[in-house]
Amino acid sequence: MPRLKLEGLSKVYPGGVKALDAFTLDIREREFIAVVGPSGCGKSTLLRMIAGLDEASGGSILLDGRELAGLPPRDRDIAIMFQNYALFPHMTVAENMSFGLKLRKTPRPEIEARVAEAARMLGIGDLLGRFPGEMSGGQRQRAALGRAILRRPKVFLFDEPLSNLDAKMRAQMRVEISRLHQTLDSTMIFVTHDQVEAMTMGDRVVVLKDGIIQQAADPDTLYRDPANAFVAAFIGSPGMNLFPGRIAEVTGGCAFVHPLFTWKLPDPVRSRVTGYQGRDILFGIRPEDIGSAEAWRLEGAPRLKAVIGVVERLGGQACLYMQAEVHEGLVTTSGNPGEIAFAARPDGAAGWQAGKALELPIDSRKAKFFDPASGFAIS
Amino acid sequence: MPEAAVVRRYRAERRLLPALATGFLLLLCALFAFPFLWMIMATFKANPQIFSPFPLLPEEFNFRHYRSLLLGEWIPYPRQFLNSLWIASAQTALAVGLSAAAGFVFAKHAFPGRRLLFALAVLVVLIPRQVMVLPLFTWMNDLKLLDGPWSVIWPGAVSGIGVIYFTQVCKRLPDELMDMARSEGASEYRVFLAILPLIKPALIAYGLIHFITAWHEHLIPLVMLSSPQQMTAGVALSSLYGSSLRIPYGLLMAGSAMTVAPTALLYLLVQRHFKSSLAELTLQ
């Protein structure tokens, strides 16, 4: 039995705005679920409904088989952590942490023991007497975490808890939360708009858009086999390049034709796209598969001719934002509208410069095809 | 050198301006303080001396007016003073509690009829007290509360201004804090109690203002209360004007001085809280 079973969960706000549409997901015990999506995709609404802060318009939430819909937040055995930490400014860290336990009339010695234990776990033992106003963002985040741990809830919910931290602190807290997840052996749902957070922390990542699950899978699968064009473009930084083109008949077979390049399809690929003969299709390729060492070695790899627009140096590697303009079958290289832009992460970092013209091979074995209308992956 | 001249002038300005400001404020202070000073000096004087402007200082500091007031020779002043204290305190406690609770609900909870109810709260502010005195009087009569402290306490226990004020104050409370409290196990009532410390400056400020208003309230006690034993200090003092041909001005001033004292004292006690503000809320 899953720990948390979400079935057909939906939320329609007055005025008809659909924040969440038939959200169905089984969450195992001790699983770390990361929910990621652009702002307004319904991810915070999802958490608020699980916590009981918002009422669902439909569907059910089962925690260990018990229906939660209609129960007030205090009877759900779920802790939620917010972006702004939600610490009372007039209470010390220890008082903030024990707030929930005091409400539940836990005996004083036990509260003290649990506060001490959580503080030790989070390394904030010497901050217990401080007020939130006297602490840094990371310390406040730890205090808020401590409060959640203290109650030993069945499920932890995180609503973008790291968004207010600086980059270094964020990386540190990511590790800390992951470690906490292992120590506590608990179920966690982590909502974020930052795909790096989602990919690095989640056992399973749920990509959400317009209130609908696009894909729920482990990070590797999500990256390697995106279920649709949205997931492909959303995951990865930068995301997968999508080239709209068509499948056309050429001498001796079939090819994907795009103004920048033509790729004669090998047989296994060809059989996958037979239904798209003569029709539009989306060709997807990750930036690191353009100009990679394997691509250079690959015989007959399609080549992209374009000009470097921007070089993003990442130390050891560079990300190139390329542009090319198509002019009646002739590829020119200016930055005008009608241009084709894509990102590439070729191997080797030397010599890249904005304005330089390049010809880069595509590792076509890694290519994905998507239906241009529905966005679904073709496999 | 012109630059040295500029520096000299700037220095002179920096010395002169604060001095000017201080002088101006001292003048204002004297202007406002004079009536109070006059009142206090008058408590030590006999009638003929009170109305000659000079000397301001009395011939001797004679406490006979205070003694006569506290011994209840003219009016049962000690009892009336306590009446005032009880009425103003109870009414302030009720008004602060009820207005804050109502404001919290208006600000943070959606329910059918919210806008209408809020509009009614605004309307209460617009209706003058005088218009409501008669209906209030008949109500208090029906409730058998006339000539007792509650007939004065209840009419001021809810205030439209208070509801509007606390609605605005509570709107600035972070929702996340309340959501956290809810998921940590707080009932809605407990959530309200948990946020009260966050609006402490507002509670104190409004409480002080309401206490002063209630303390100086004249019309309602005048209408509701009839026996001297139930009367409030302010109304009782004013009744001394018509009490005899020989109006005891010194006694009246002694009573006024003692009646002003609690509000002044209260202000001194809580004024530092005025400086802290709701800005604390956004600190985190």
CA angle A97, A100, A103 (to 5 degrees): 135
CB contact under 8 A, B185 and A103: yes
Longest dimension (CA), chain B: 87
Q: What is the pLDDT of residue B50?
A: 81
Residue A165 CA: distances (Å) to CA of A123, A134, A180, B194, B238: 18, 16, 18, 27, 64
**Of B174, B179, B184, Cβ closest to residue A103:** B184
**Cβ atoms A150, A44 nearer than 8 A:** no
Interface probe with A: pick from B172, B173, B180, B280, most Cβ of A within 10 Å = B180
Residue B232 has pLDDT above 60, yes or no: yes
Judged against a pLDDT cut of 80, whether residue B264 lies above it is answered with yes
Contacts of A377 (CB under 8 A, 6+ apart): A225, A226, A227, A228, A229, A232, A368, A369, A370
A52 with B198: Cβ contact below 8 A: no
Asked if A90 and B198 come within 8 Å (Cβ–Cβ), the reply is: yes
Q: What is the pLDDT of residues A167-182, one digit of tens each?
A: 888 998 999 899 999 9
Nearest-Cα residue of chain A relative to residue B282: A89
Helix or strand or coil: residue A338?
Answer: coil
**What is the overall mean pLDDT for chain A?**
89
Q: Cβ(B169)–Cβ(B199) under 8 Å?
A: yes
Banded model confidence at residue B278, pLDDT cuts 50, 70, 90: very low
Q: Is A295 within 8 Å of A362 (Cβ atoms)? A: yes
Asked if residue B284 has pLDDT above 70, the reply is: no
Residues B175-185: tens digit of each pLDDT: 999 999 999 98
Residue A90: list chain B partners with CB under 8 A: 197-198, 200
Using the beta-carbon criterion (under 8 Å), do B183 and A89 form an inter-chain contact? no
Average pLDDT over residues B110-131: 90
First-to-last alpha carbon distance for chain B, in angstroms, is: 52
The residue of chain A nearest to residue B197, with distances taken between CA atoms, is A90
Q: What are phi and psi of B143, to 5 degrees?
A: -80, 0
Q: Whole-angstrom Cα distance, residue A270 to residue A378?
A: 11
Asked if residue B87 lies in contact with residue B232, where contact means CB atoms within 8 angstroms, the answer is yes
Check residue A15 and give its pLDDT: 84
The terminus-to-terminus CA distance of chain A in angstroms comes to: 32
Please state, in angstroms and rounded to a whole number, the distance separating the CA atoms of residues B135 and B149. Answer: 18
pLDDT at B213 over 60: yes
**Per-residue pLDDT for B57 more than 60?**
yes
CA A190 – CA A49 distance, rounded (Å): 14
Contacts of A89 in chain B (CB under 8 A): 198, 280-281, 283-284
* Token pair in block for residue A46: 């999802």
Query: Is the per-residue pLDDT at B283 higher than 60?
Result: no
Peptide bond connecting B55 to the previous residue in cis, omega within 30 degrees of 0: yes
Instruction: Look at residues A239, A193, A191 and name the one whose alpha carbon lies nearest to residue A37.
Output: A193
B179, B184, B280 ranked by CB distance to A100: nearest: B184
Going by C-beta distance under 8 Å and a sequence separation of 6 or more, which residues neighbour residue B17? none
**Distance set, CA B133 to CA A329, B12, B95, B143 (Å):** 89, 60, 18, 15
| Average pLDDT of span B129-156 | 93
Tell me which residue in A52, A132, A151 faces B284 most closely, judged by beta carbons. A132
Cα gap A202→A217, rounded to integer Å: 9
Q: Does B59 touch chain A (CB under 8 A)?
A: no
Please state, as a whole number, how many other Cβ atoms lie within 10 Å of the Cβ of residue A350: 5
Distance CA A199, CA A192 (A): 10
DSSP of B4-49: HHHHHHHHHHHHHHHHHHHHHHHHHHHHHHHHHHHHHHHTTS-HHH
Tell me, what's the pLDDT at B282?
A: 40
B277: pLDDT confidence band, cut at 50, 70 and 90? very low
Q: Minimal CA–CA distance to A365: which of A261, A269, A277?
A: A269
- Is the per-residue pLDDT at B116 higher than 90? yes
Identity of the residue numbered A364: S
CA angle B250, B254, B260 (to 5 degrees): 140
CA gap B192, B190 in Å, rounded: 5
* pLDDT value at B108 more than 80: yes
Residues in chain A closer than 8 A to B186 (CB atoms): 74, 103
- Chain A residue numbers with beta carbons less than 8 Å from the beta carbon of B179 are 48, 51, 53, 73, 80, 82, 86
Tell me the two tokens of residue A244: 């709209």
Quickly list DSSP for A239-306.
T-EEEEEEEEEETTEEEEEETTEEEEPPHHHHHHTGGGBTSEEEEEE-GGGBS-HHHHHSTT--EEEE
Rounded to 5 degrees, what angle do the CA atoms B51, B55, B59 make? 95
Which residues pair with residue A18 across a beta bridge? A12
Inform me whether the C-beta atom of residue B177 falls under 8 Å from chain A C-beta atoms: yes
A330-332 vs A155-159, strand pairing mode: unpaired
* Per-residue CA distances from B12 to A280, B3, B18 (Å): 81, 14, 11
- Residues (pLDDT < 70) of chain A are 1, 326-338, 349-350
Residue type, position A13, single letter: Y
Nearest to A79 among B183, B194, B198 (CB): B183
Contacts of A336 (CB under 8 A, 6+ apart): A325
What local confidence, expressed as pLDDT, does residue B244 receive? 65
Give chain B positions within 8 Å (CB) of A72: 182, 187
Cβ atoms of A84 and A164 closer than 8 Å: yes
